[in-house]
Amino acid sequence: MREMRVLATAGHVDHGKSALVRALTGMEPDRYEEEQRRGLTLDLGFVWTRLEPDSSPGGGGEHLAFVDVPGHERFVATMLAGVGPVPGVLFVVAADQGWQQQSQEHLEILDALGVRHAVLAVTRSDLADPEPVRADAAERLRATSIGTVPSVAVSSVTGAGLAGLRGELARLAAVLPDPPADADVRLWLDRAFTVRGHGTVVTGTLAAGTLCVGDRLVTGDGESVLRVRGLQCLHEERRSVSGVARVAVNVHGDAVLGRGTVLLTPGRWRPATVTDVRVHGTPVAELPRSVTLHLGTAAVPVTVRPLGEDTARLTLTRGLPLRVGDRAVLREPGGRRVACGATVLDVAPPRLTRRGAARARAVELTGMTGRPDGAAELRRRRLVRRADLEAMGIAAPGPPVAGDWLADPEHWAALRDRLTGEVARHAERHPLDPGLPTEAARRLLGLPDRALVQALVDTPGPVVLHHRQGRLYGPDEARPSLPPPVQRAVEALTEDLRRSPFRAPEAGRLAELGLTRQALAATVAAGALLRVAEGVVLLPDADTRAAAVLRSLPQPFALSEARRALDTTRRVAVPLLELLDRRGHTERVDDQRRRCREAAGSGGGRESNPPARDPRAPRF
């Protein structure tokens, strides 16, 4: 069951907002002595009451908290900090004064934020006929995002209408949206103070998600980590609190905290310093170059770059944890112009460096709604890490293609086709070395991670690709085709080795045949020769032939015995025996001797061997 709903007050100064919530809750919203002495709200106040259940399904019965905001024109920024994180308002107009300047400005701010839930209270109905004011105010609200709302004439002095107002507030509470309890926490702070014996305490409206004692939170700049030592909600100690709720959080850590600071779930947000937005209520061309962006309780100066008729790029003086769909207010300092709204369309927009990029971006933004759409966002970005997409407030539309990487299906298929073409072109241009290096493929395709290359190879396609030893091959290029001169050289070398299978050709003979280092590498890759060591090549099956010869020797045997049996030189015998060790044909007994693995362990004591054949005789 829902435990709490939170509303903010709104309306002109001295229209009785604080008196009304005092009458509704029995609590004093003005915390400072000066506020109570002057009868003027200077800062945000917080009070609450428990509503009686109404007849609507699931309606009423929970706590209703009020964020009481100042109505004076000098404190509009404070009003914005109070109303920013809450989902609905109690709009107050006095019957004896009617609609006033700050009534209008507060309504424009609520319209800019896209607020859709409200109750209209016409106060001081004991001093004047409330009906003309109620009709006028209701009509003004109807023309904004708030729309048609219930209205009640009340008197905080006589108590008239309070019961009806409580009923309307209960019905409003019943229809306020339920935020997800598992959402990422973004707690905008409106107060920070020190309590002796407890340390730092911060307060704010938790709009969504859940806070628990023991949680770790990071500040919006990502520089400080804080631990939740304690939680209070409506002056009650709690182990956990879910939004929407007014919370007081006892935090431990080294950070400068105050109004405008935001505390976040670690690893789930990215501070944005540039964002593309859709502007509501004012033509973008009429915006001054410098305005203040109000989001949550933060107020950050921004530079405006118009893009389209209703879209602009904002450059922030400090990073904020923005997400697609966030609603903010743009206001010129001093309030000389009407405040306007902004919907965040993109929190990580592309740079506009090329000629015509701004015009193209404006066209692209016309199709963006500000509603998170994973598939559409992936089409625009083509490749993006899932963590980065989710930090934008957008759910991944499908599983990653490699690691944490998401790819637009059409773009991924086009990358697969390009990779196939690059592999084929490389093989055509380098017949002696047809394998395209993985890193070269990554650079050619402009991929940010080498793992994406392997994922493309593994993706089924009309052409099968192979990945071997850091190189990519097509279906017919797993072994290079040797040019005729190289093929003839291999045939001549094969004839030499048939006569003396383990006498590798010397450098002079290789040069005579035209077998350069690159040509030799190609013959080895093609399987035409076996590379034993640098500049030492034999026939492809020389290792198994050599193992067969060595099995005929008394076990174990020394290097000199193996060299004589194989009829070769030390230049060949040493690396050949090491190759046989690596391939499991032989193993060392000590520093001087080896034995064949098949011969090891036969018999007891002295090992028996078949009669030795002539070691000089070729073995095919």
Distance from C-alpha of 88 to C-alpha of 10, rounded to nearest angstrom: 10
Mean of pLDDT over the chain: 86
pLDDT reading at 594 higher than 60: yes
Whole-prediction pTM value?
0.75
> What's the pLDDT tens digit per position in 430-470?
777 778 899 999 999 999 999 999 999 999 988 889 887 78
Which tokens belong to 609?
Answer: 């061997």
Measured CA to CA in angstroms, residue 530 lies from 147, 195, 593 at distances of 83, 79, 25
User: Bigger pLDDT: 268 or 45?
Assistant: 268
Model pLDDT, residue 476? 65
Model pLDDT, residue 74? 56
> What's the pLDDT tens digit per position in 541-553?
999 999 999 999 9
Distance from C-alpha of 581 to C-alpha of 574, rounded to nearest angstrom: 11
pLDDT reading at 605 higher than 80: no
Whose structure tokens read 């991944």?
396
pLDDT reading at 486 higher than 70: yes
Q: What percent of the chain has pLDDT over 90?
A: 58
Three state DSSP letters for 311-361:
EEEEEEEEEECCCCCCEEEEECCCCCCCCEEEEEEECCCCCCCCCCHHHHH
Residues 312 and 352: beta-carbon distance below 8 Å:
no
Model pLDDT, residue 40? 42
Distance from C-alpha of 16 to C-alpha of 93, rounded to nearest angstrom: 8
**DSSP 8-state secondary structure symbol assigned to residue 204:** E
Model pLDDT, residue 393? 94
Categorise residue 77: left if φ over 0, alpha if ψ from -120 to 50, beta otherwise: alpha
Distance from C-alpha of 142 to C-alpha of 131, rounded to nearest angstrom: 16
Measured CA to CA in angstroms, residue 606 lies from 127, 480, 610, 611, 612 at distances of 122, 48, 13, 15, 17
Q: What percent of the chain has pLDDT over 70?
A: 88
Residues 278 and 342: beta-carbon distance below 8 Å:
yes
Question: What integer is the mean pLDDT of 575-602?
Answer: 84
Whose structure tokens read 């060392």?
588
State the number of CA atoms in the 13 A half-sphere of 86 facing the CB. Answer: 32
Model pLDDT, residue 195? 85
By the 10 Å C-beta count (0-12 exposed, 13-18 middle, 19+ buried), 11 is classed as buried
Residues 261 and 250: beta-carbon distance below 8 Å:
no
